[in-house]
């Protein structure tokens, strides 16, 4: 789960990490009153969406009058911001962060990520922080410094000093940098985060270090024990189909193909997507109904898959261990009738109560396409798709 910049900064502030004074607002009026409360003569107005690259996309503006705070906040709130991370549809800005502006002397990057190869948290840092960090990582990877953290002892001072030195944080800045790194690490561990990133960490005029932008994301499987973090979830930033699915205990991820998939188990769902791709098709989604799927849960799965207008056929692949094929079949038939489904439905059932399941489908008065195994199911889904394609009359041969 991702959270907004302002939420990350609130969290980091609790850990004693230096962040600018500021508050999130929902209207231009609130923006003005927060700017007046902060005082000074320059403010930053920052669009709060779950995406980086806002600076380059016009989502971060430094202004020097209250009128501009109002105008920029008014312009940003309700607008759609398209960054290199959002896709062409962009994201609607529902809130903006108003902060006291700083004069930047230099920008650094500091991040804590989980390195999958070593399976450890790794401190990543660069002297080339700011809006071009991705470019730095691609073109000059040697400018990205890495230090692996041993989970048994945690992040040690000498590691922070080593990294800070390498990126050029020396003298009075060194102990400040060490403190920030250690507090970021503590904040990450205490809250089951999987990523914590500061970019830029800025030296501002006056010579202090200040966190101008920060991002954290959290382990979804640990949210149950982090109620304060769970509360930070912003449903506006998620695919509504994925939100509805999780409410029904379904694990759904939207993709961009046309073959809807309803499968049990994440591994089988992945294999089903692979089989569709192997047969030249494109899955419209990943959907794991889990174990013990009730007829209602299966019907909900149909409803969610069919909310995607690109779906032209649905492939159901169930290998029932804990599940029961008769329950699955009952759910399928219920969905067909209640949702008035007309498209080709390919069903592959195996395992517990498979005979009972097949019997339910056979008596349902719907032309289910029954598949005997995964490969057969994918092949039949493709055949069904092709049969839907408009038939073009062959061109008449012209005789001269
Ligand atoms: P991102 O583009 O989504 O990563 O958004 P950031 O919050 O990192 O802002 C982008 C850039 O705006 C930063 O790299 C800074 O150069 C600039 N910026 C952010 N805050 C301030 C500020 O207080 N003063 C000035 N002068 N620039 C800022
Ligand atoms: Mn940034």
Q: What is the pLDDT of residues 250-268, one digit of tens each?
A: 999 999 999 999 999 999 9
Catalytic residue check, 197: yes
The answer for residues whose C-beta is within 8 angstroms of residue 342's C-beta and 6 or more apart is none
- Where exactly does CATH 3.30.470.20 map onto the chain? 1-19+104-237
Tell me what pLDDT residue 399 has: 57
Tell me what pLDDT residue 132 has: 87
Q: Is 22 in the pocket of ligand 1 (CB under 6 A)?
A: no
pLDDT over 70 (residue 248): yes
Alpha-carbon distance of 25 to 10, in angstroms, equals: 14
pLDDT over 80 (residue 272): yes
Q: Is 101 in the pocket of ligand 1 (CB under 6 A)?
A: yes
Tell me which residue has its CA closest to atom 10 in ligand 1.
55
Which strands sit side by side in the sheet containing 96-100, from one edge to the other?
A: 22-25, 96-100, 43-47, 60-63
Q: Is 249 in the pocket of ligand 1 (CB under 6 A)?
A: no
Fold of the CATH domain 240-388:
Rossmann fold (3.40.50)
pLDDT tens-place string over residues 357-368: 999 999 999 999
Catalytic pick among 5, 197, 237, 252: 197
Tell me what pLDDT residue 243 has: 87
Tell me what pLDDT residue 396 has: 62
Question: Could you tell me if 269 and 258 are in contact, meaning their C-beta atoms sit under 8 angstroms apart?
Answer: no
Reported as a pLDDT band with limits 50, 70 and 90, residue 9 is very high
Alpha-carbon distance of 363 to 355, in angstroms, equals: 12
Q: What is the pTM of this model?
A: 0.81
pLDDT over 90 (residue 315): yes
pLDDT tens-place string over residues 46-70: 999 999 999 999 999 999 999 999 9
Q: Is 212 in the pocket of ligand 1 (CB under 6 A)?
A: yes
Q: Name which residue leads in pLDDT, 136 or 36.
A: 36
- Where exactly does CATH 3.40.50.261 map onto the chain? 240-388
CA of 107 to the centre of ligand 1 (A): 9
CA of 270 to the centre of ligand 1 (A): 39
Tell me what pLDDT residue 259 has: 97
Q: Is 201 in the pocket of ligand 1 (CB under 6 A)?
A: no
Question: Could you tell me if 68 and 26 are in contact, meaning their C-beta atoms sit under 8 angstroms apart?
Answer: no
Tell me what pLDDT residue 246 has: 86
What percentage of the chain exceeds 70 in pLDDT?
Answer: 98
CA of 188 to the centre of ligand 1 (A): 23
Other CB atoms closer than 10 Å to residue 231's CB: what's the count?
9
Residue 263 sits at φ, ψ, to 5 deg, of: -140, 155
Tell me what pLDDT residue 400 has: 57
* Closest atom of ligand 1 to CA, residue 55: 2
Q: Is 97 in the pocket of ligand 1 (CB under 6 A)?
A: no
pLDDT tens-place string over residues 222-240: 999 999 999 999 999 988 8
The listed CATH number (3.30.1490.20, 3.40.50.170, 3.10.310.30, 3.30.450.20) that belongs to domain 21-101: 3.30.1490.20
Question: Could you tell me if 258 and 284 are in contact, meaning their C-beta atoms sit under 8 angstroms apart?
Answer: yes
What percentage of the chain exceeds 90 in pLDDT?
Answer: 89
Q: Mutation test of ligand 1: which of 40, 200, 211 has the most ligand atoms closer than 8 Å to its C-beta?
A: 200
Tell me what pLDDT residue 392 has: 66
Residues 190-210 have a mean pLDDT of: 97
351 to each of 113, 222, 323, 328, how far by Cα in Å? Answer: 41, 32, 8, 12
Q: Which ligand is nearest to the CA of 49?
A: 1
Question: Could you tell me if 137 and 128 are in contact, meaning their C-beta atoms sit under 8 angstroms apart?
Answer: no
CA of 200 to the centre of ligand 2 (A): 6
Residue 27 sits at φ, ψ, to 5 deg, of: -135, 165
CA of 238 to the centre of ligand 1 (A): 25
CA of 214 to the centre of ligand 2 (A): 7
Question: What average pLDDT does the structure give for the chain?
Answer: 94
Q: Is 128 in the pocket of ligand 1 (CB under 6 A)?
A: no
Residue 370 sits at φ, ψ, to 5 deg, of: -90, 130
Catalytic residue check, 134: no
Q: Is 52 in the pocket of ligand 1 (CB under 6 A)?
A: yes
What's the CATH number for 1-19+104-237? 3.30.470.20
Q: Mutation test of ligand 1: which of 44, 209, 215 has the most ligand atoms closer than 8 Å to its C-beta?
A: 44
Residues 24-34 have a mean pLDDT of: 98
pLDDT tens-place string over residues 99-111: 999 999 999 999 9
Measure CA 98 to chain center.
25
Tell me what pLDDT residue 389 has: 82
Alpha-carbon distance of 93 to 101, in angstroms, equals: 21
Reported as a pLDDT band with limits 50, 70 and 90, residue 87 is confident
pLDDT tens-place string over residues 366-399: 999 999 999 999 999 999 999 988 766 666 666 5
Q: Is 213 in the pocket of ligand 1 (CB under 6 A)?
A: yes
Tell me which residue has its CA closest to atom 2 in ligand 1.
55
Tell me which residue has its CA closest to atom 13 in ligand 1.
130
């Amino acid at each position: 789960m991702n959270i907004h910049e302002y939420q990350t900064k609130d969290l980091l502030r609790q850990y004693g990490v230096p962040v600018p004074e500021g508050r999130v607002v929902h209207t231009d009026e609130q923006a003005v009153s927060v700017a007046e409360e902060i005082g000074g003569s320059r403010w930053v107005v920052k669009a709060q969406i779950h995406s980086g690259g806002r600076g380059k996309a016009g989502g971060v503006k430094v202004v020097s009058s209250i009128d501009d705070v109002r105008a920029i906040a008014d312009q940003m709130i309700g607008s759609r911001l398209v960054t290199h991370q959002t896709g062409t549809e962009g994201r609607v800005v529902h809130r903006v962060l108003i902060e006291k502006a700083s004069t930047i002397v230099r920008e650094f990057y500091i991040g804590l990520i989980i390195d999958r190869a070593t399976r450890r948290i790794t401190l990543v840092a660069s002297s080339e922080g700011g809006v071009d960090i991705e470019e730095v990582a691609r073109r000059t990877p040697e400018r990205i410094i890495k230090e692996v953290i041993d989970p048994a002892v945690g992040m040690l001072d000498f590691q922070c000093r080593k990294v800070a030195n390498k990126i050029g944080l020396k003298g009075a800045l060194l102990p400040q940098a060490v403190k920030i790194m250690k507090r970021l690490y503590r904040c990450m561990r205490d809250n089951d985060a999987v990523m914590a990133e500061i970019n830029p960490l800025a030296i501002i005029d006056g010579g202090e270090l200040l966190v101008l932008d920060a991002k954290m994301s959290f382990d979804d499987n640990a949210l149950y024990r982090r109620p304060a973090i769970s509360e930070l979830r912003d449903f506006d930033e998620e695919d509504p189909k994925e939100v509805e699915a999780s409410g029904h205990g379904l694990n759904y991820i939207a993709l961009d193909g046309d073959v809807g998939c309803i499968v049990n188990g994440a591994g089988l769902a992945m294999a089903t997507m692979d089989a569709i791709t192997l047969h030249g098709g494109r899955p419209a989604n990943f959907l794991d109904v889990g174990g013990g799927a009730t007829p209602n849960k299966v019907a909900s799965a149909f409803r969610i898959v069919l909310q995607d207008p690109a779906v032209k056929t649905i492939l159901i692949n169930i290998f029932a261990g804990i599940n029961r094929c008769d329950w699955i079949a009952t759910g399928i038939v219920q969905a067909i009738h209640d949702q008035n489904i007309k498209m080709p439905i390919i069903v592959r059932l195996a395992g517990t109560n498979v005979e009972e399941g097949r019997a339910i489908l056979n008596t349902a008065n719907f032309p289910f396409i029954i598949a005997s195994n995964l490969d057969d199911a994918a092949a039949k889904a493709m055949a069904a798709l092709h049969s839907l394609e408009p038939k073009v009359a062959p061109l008449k041969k012209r005789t001269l």
